[in-house]
Structures are given as structure tokens and as C-alpha cells.
Amino acid sequence: MNFDDTPEQAAFRQEVRAWLDANARLRSNDSDVWRTLRPRNDTDDKFALERAKKWQAVKYDAGYVGLNWPTEFGGRGLSAHIAAVFKQEEARYDVPANAFQVGVDMVGPTLIRHGSAAITERFLDPIRRGDEFWCQLFSEPGAGSDLAGLSTKAVRDGDAFVVNGQKVWTTTAHWADYGLLLARTNPEVSKHQGITAFIVDMSTPGIEIRPLRQADGAEHFNEVFFTDVVVPAENVIGEIDAGWGVAHTMLTSERSAIGGGGMVQFDEVAMLAEHFDRRSEPLIRQDLARLYSYFEITRFLGYRVQTALSHGQAPGPESSIMKLHISRQYEFGSDVIEALMGAAGTLWEADAPYGGFFNGLFLAQWAPRIGGGTDQIQRNIVGERVLGLPAEPRVDR
């Protein structure tokens, strides 16, 4: 596989760089983006969200949102490889790059594939423009990696469904206008067959959102409780009891999005080394070289996933291999950051370099091992589908 830019990619990269140079500034030591990347209180939250919405609107007006969406749905119909170029370039600038990732990279493609004409007409343009913020209502206290074991119920009541249950680890639910919900609509069939996907207005009576405070003081995750929440039947995505296919599309889109970027870029770690005047140290240079290789491998694995998607194929175990590699990348990257910062790594927020951004990354290094499917689940997939090992015993099959 050739990882060099094709002539089309190279031309698009030049176009994107010219546009970004005209509309943003390169990230630097004095960039104000560091504080907004890891908001830790209500004031920071509101500032970060408003900043993200303004930037999203600028990109929308210029035609740089939903680049790989079909043209009939407002996109530019570009390949996933070419669309990834924009993210690679955008990451170098002082902008809130990934705030609308759930909506644009996950919900949007899912609605395009499974949504009715009424749903796509109503929701796709506000998603691209950033007018409406979305969350993913999947995981539950008893259904994380085993997502099909979810117990949130949706019972038909005339022209609506009544939802009761609980979701957890819902990223930015406290910001969200809408959520894509999985709920059990038929408990009499196998667990994968009795699930339905819904669009839920997060302001609906009966929805309670409780933020979960993290080790770094931020509140990005939430518990979401549903008590007799009425969801119109017209908000069903796809067919009733066929929501597992919808979930698979969204999870596949999530893996592709993960492969396109992350919480930190290599250039930012290199900048940190320069800030502490340590780029000339042999051991630091060795660690930076190794970390660079991690980032490059992630990029190449992401290309493999995107290639499968661009050919209309569901990515196979390569997405699990990529997920496992990303976990290792963040773990090692956090070790490098800690080594670079030394005693400064014990400082916090205003006292720390870059507003505590890198200190927060050190605390968050374990998150990739859990979020989006645990390392253990990914190893099972690789073991069974690549190595041909026997499957683990399952009491639910």
C-alpha cells in the first residue's frame, strides 16, 4: 500500500493549507487553544463550546465539513483518504478541531446509511453547520464492551415509544441537543435482534444528566437517566428491532474517526521538548523518534480502515489492531511527556505549562484502553479472526 500523497491528495493539501493560513494561526507556545482543549468548569465549557461552534460555522461556509459525505447530502463526495488530509492539516492550527466529531464523523454517516428521508433532511445540515450538538447514548452500567447486553427499554405506545433506563460514560451529554440512543424493544429474541436505534431530543422531560468528575477535575462524561421519556416513532433510525446494524455502522465510523486523529499530535510533544530545552538530549531524541513511529503507524492503520470504508466494506480486525496500537501509543506518549516535564509535571492548571494540558494527558493515558471497546475485547477479536484461536465460552449463545 502506498502511503504517499496521490496527486489529488497533494493538490487538496495545498488548498487546505492556503485556506487555513488565511483563516487561522498555527498552534504555538502562546496559543490560547491549550486552555480550551481541556475545559474543567462551567465557564470553560461554555467558552469552549461557543468557540467550537464559531469555527464549525466558518468551515461549513467554506465547504470543509462532511468532506466524504455524498454530495446529495451536502458533502463533497471525497474519498476518506482525501478527507483525512483536512484533519491532518487542521491539527496544526490554533482551532478546536474535534468538537463535532460525534455528529459529523459518527452520527452523520449513520443517518445517511439508515435514516429516513425526513430524518436526513431535518438533521444532516444542522450537524454539519454545528447548530446542533450530538452525543452517543450506547454504554450502560452493565453493557459496555458487551454492548448488545443493554437493558434500557423502549415500549411502544401508539405513535411513540416510552424509554426507561440508564446510560453511562456519555461524552458531552451535558452539551448535547440530540443523542443517538440504543434501546431494547423486544426482549423475547436474541440480544442482538431486539434493539432499536432512536434520535432523542435531550431536552425531553424525563431525561436527567449527571456529570462524572474525572481525575483531572474535568466533567466530560455523564450518566444519563431516562424515566418515562417519550420518543416519537418517527425518530426511529432504520427498522424496529434492527438497531444492531445501526450501532455497527456508528461504531465503525467511530473507529475510522479515531484513526484520523487523537488527543495530542506528535508536533505538540516535540514543541514541549523544545519548551524545556531538551531536544538535544540523546535519550529524549530516541524517545521522540520512537513516539513518531507510533504516530505514523497509527496513521497507516487508519488508512487501512479508511480504504475498506471507501470500497464499501466494513473494516475487519484491522480496526481492532489499530485500537490496540493507539492504547500503546498514548501510554508511551504519556511516559515521554512525564519525562520531558520533570517536576513541572506535578503542577496543575494555571501553574503548569500550557495551562495543564499535558498534565491532563498524563492522567488520561488509560482512557484509550477502555473507551470504544476495551483492549481485552480487541485482543479477542484479533485472536479469533486473525490468529484462528478458539472463541471464549459465551453463556449468551
**Residue ranges, CATH 1.20.140.10, the chain:** 261-387
User: How is residue 7 written as a grid cell?
Assistant: 496527486
pLDDT at 32 over 60: no
Q: Phi/psi zone of residue 354: left (φ > 0), alpha (ψ -120 to 50 degrees), beta?
A: left
153 touches 164 (CB < 8 A):
yes
pLDDT at 52 (0 to 100):
92
**Residue ranges, CATH 1.10.540.10, the chain:** 22-129
pLDDT at 258 over 70: no
pLDDT at 34 over 70: no
Q: How confident is the model at residue 140 (pLDDT cuts 50, 70, 90)?
A: very high
pLDDT at 108 (0 to 100):
96
pLDDT at 42 over 60: no
CATH superfamily of this structure's domain 261-387: Butyryl-CoA Dehydrogenase, subunit A, domain 3 (1.20.140.10)
Q: For strands 160-167 and 221-232, give the pairing.
A: antiparallel
Class of the CATH-defined domain 134-242: mainly beta
pLDDT at 348 over 90: no
Q: Which of 254, 391, 253, 278 is nearest to 340 (CA)?
A: 278
Note the CATH architecture for domain 22-129.
Orthogonal Bundle (1.10)
pLDDT at 261 (0 to 100):
52
Point out the least confidently predicted range of 18-32, 287-301, 325-339: 18-32
**Euclidean distance between CA atoms 236 and 249, whole angstroms:** 15
pLDDT digits over 206-252, tens only?
999 999 988 777 788 999 999 999 999 999 999 999 999 999 888 87
DSSP string spanning 169-215? S-TTTTT-SEEEEEEES-TTS-TTTSEEEEEEETTSTTEEEEEE--T
pLDDT at 38 over 70: no
Residue 205: other Cβ atoms inside 10 A? 8
Q: Which of 90, 132, 140, 254 is catalytic?
A: 254
Q: How confident is the model at residue 146 (pLDDT cuts 50, 70, 90)?
A: confident
**Euclidean distance between CA atoms 106 and 99, whole angstroms:** 12
Q: What is the mean pLDDT of residues 368-383?
A: 87
pLDDT at 391 over 60: yes
DSSP string spanning 75-101? S----HHHHHHHHHHHTTBSS--STTH
φ and ψ at residue 55, rounded to 5 degrees: -70, -40
DSSP one-letter code for 143: B
pLDDT digits over 89-111, tens only?
998 888 886 789 999 999 999 99
Locate cell 492504547: which residue?
A: 327
Mean pLDDT of the chain: 88
**Euclidean distance between CA atoms 309 and 315, whole angstroms:** 7
pLDDT digits over 307-320, tens only?
776 666 666 788 88
pLDDT at 367 (0 to 100):
83
pLDDT at 240 (0 to 100):
97
* Strands annotated E in the chain: 134-137, 153-157, 160-167, 178-184, 195-201, 207-212, 221-232, 236-237
φ and ψ at residue 137, rounded to 5 degrees: -100, 75
Whole-number percent of the chain with pLDDT over 90: 56
309 touches 370 (CB < 8 A):
no
Residue 369, amino acid: R
Q: How confident is the model at residue 396 (pLDDT cuts 50, 70, 90)?
A: low
pLDDT at 118 (0 to 100):
97
pLDDT at 84 (0 to 100):
85
362 touches 338 (CB < 8 A):
yes
User: How is residue 169 written as a grid cell?
Assistant: 460514560
Q: How confident is the model at residue 30 (pLDDT cuts 50, 70, 90)?
A: low
Q: Please list the residues that pair with 163 across neighbouring strands.
A: 154, 229
Whole-number percent of the chain with pLDDT over 70: 89
Which residues, other chains included, contact 23 with Cβ-Cβ below 8 Å and sequence gap of 6+? 58, 62
Does the annotation count 349 as an active-site position?
no
pLDDT digits over 64-75, tens only?
999 999 999 999
User: How is residue 56 written as a grid cell?
Assistant: 464549525
pLDDT at 41 over 60: no
What distance lies between CA 303 and its chain's CA centroid? 17
pLDDT digits over 271-284, tens only?
899 989 999 999 99
**Euclidean distance between CA atoms 68 and 163, whole angstroms:** 34
Q: Please list the residues that pair with 230 across neighbouring strands.
A: 162
pLDDT at 267 (0 to 100):
85
pLDDT at 222 (0 to 100):
96
Q: What is the rounded (10 degree) CA torsion for 37, 346, 330, 102?
A: -20
Locate cell 481525575: which residue?
A: 215
Which of helix, strand or coil describes residue 158? coil
**Residue ranges, CATH 2.40.110.10, the chain:** 134-242
174 touches 203 (CB < 8 A):
no
* Kind plus residue range of the DSSP H or E element containing 131: none
Point out the least confidently predicted range of 163-177, 240-254, 382-396: 382-396
The residue with greater pLDDT, 269 or 253, is: 269
pLDDT at 370 (0 to 100):
85
